[in-house]
Structure 1
Amino acid sequence: MIEIERKFLVISDAFKVGTLKKTRIIQGFLNTDKERTVRVRLKGEIGYITVKGVSSADGLSRFEWEKEISQQDAELLFKLCEPGIIDKMRYEVKVGNHVFEVDEFYGDNKGLVVAEIELDDVDENFERPLWLGKEVTGLVQYYNSQLSKQPFNTW
């Protein structure tokens, strides 16, 4: 499956007013090679293992495969992950016809808040809420795999 996604900085907490759902996410990386990233995630009490391929030149799309695993399996796999666990709260916020996933980071990435929107087409139009800031799509330092190695508080 090809994922088309754009990522933005968030400039205020006004997004919280429109939150449909919020979920705590803990994730680690078994592999952070730029050609293939392998992620283990606990989203609430549900585990996932995800493989992502290399991003397109513009950073908008890449191959993604994901499979649900048990919470116990995810916790066991965390022990094999590279150093640098990501801890964040994800807010799902409906804006127009789309849902933004807004991640508020904790720990070494505290202070960073980013919003992602998945699209069906790279040229798809979407409503831009007032809390949406600068676009950071394709900027590697904002990838979770990189935030696990070089956290926001070290920039």
Structure 2
Amino acid sequence: MAMCIGPQVVKKVGDVKAVVYLQLASLPFLLLTAYIEHLWLAALGFLFRQALMNAGNPIQMSLMMSKVSDSMEGLANSVNQMVFNLGWAFMGQVSTGIVVKYVSYWGYAYVFTITAGLYLIGSTYFFLVFRGFTVKKEPAASAKIS
């Protein structure tokens, strides 16, 4: 379902703005998950946040792949995945330290709030870097009848 949202947003606002809008639209749901005390509302917020972030990922990957040469696409994808996974690997210890220090409710609230701030910074940076860039669509190959 989330994958169907992205193309509709791209049609209305363009590739770069679609990624930024989808990421920014996910932030209220991230903060809802951080501060709400009702499990079902937190779960709903989590699902909406994931859907919005996942809707922007293919668009972001398309932009990245269209920006690099064909011979470098594998390396670009690998570096992107490595950086993403290193963030998960190293920030787990940091976020656990925050949760332990500030106890469960406030610890998680601080971690999610910091995450929202980092997403805001990342989305703004992404917009500043890619704002004048659009994906060049290749013309469809016409069928030749011999």
**If the length of structure 1 is used for normalisation, what is the TM-score?**
0.25
Q: What is the TM-score when the length of structure 2 is the normalising length?
A: 0.26
Larger fraction in strand: 1
